[in-house]
Amino acid sequence: MNVVTNVGLNDTAEMIGGTATVDPFKYIAIGTGTTAAAASDTALEAEITTGGGERVSVTPSVSNGVLTLSNTFTFTAPFAITEAGVLNAASGGDLYGHSVFNAVNVANGDSLQITINVTYSAA
């Protein structure tokens, strides 16, 4: 994850402190946006909503302070995938983190595995 967003940090603090009920961050979204990820982001720049790249709920795992979310997308249309994010709802919701990367071009019938690791460590 390139950037944990301001909303993601705030939601995490609220979950830890028990000051608010926040839905779990268990959705992966991908997109075609190319603007650098920023802490102020609240959504992907250009989330894919058709063609096999739709947002998906996954079962996160945690091991040794690393939260891992992973999904294999199978496409029915071509895309240049350039961003991924973790959110807490099937649509809308809060964006925990956002990554922007070099294009991964996919065509109809292609599959692409997206794995997002969030590492928590003591200083």
- Residue range 2-38, pLDDT digits in tens: 899 999 999 999 999 999 999 999 999 999 999 999 9
- In this structure, are residues 41 and 8 in contact, taking their beta carbons and an 8 Å threshold? no
Q: Where are the domains of the chain?
A: 3-119
pTM of the model: 0.94
**Distance, CA of 115 to CA of 44 (rounded, Å):** 17
Phi and psi (nearest 5°) for 13? -60, -40
Helix (H) or strand (E) holding 16, with range, is helix 6-17
- In this structure, are residues 104 and 79 in contact, taking their beta carbons and an 8 Å threshold? no
When the pLDDT of each residue in the chain is averaged and rounded to a whole number, the result is 96
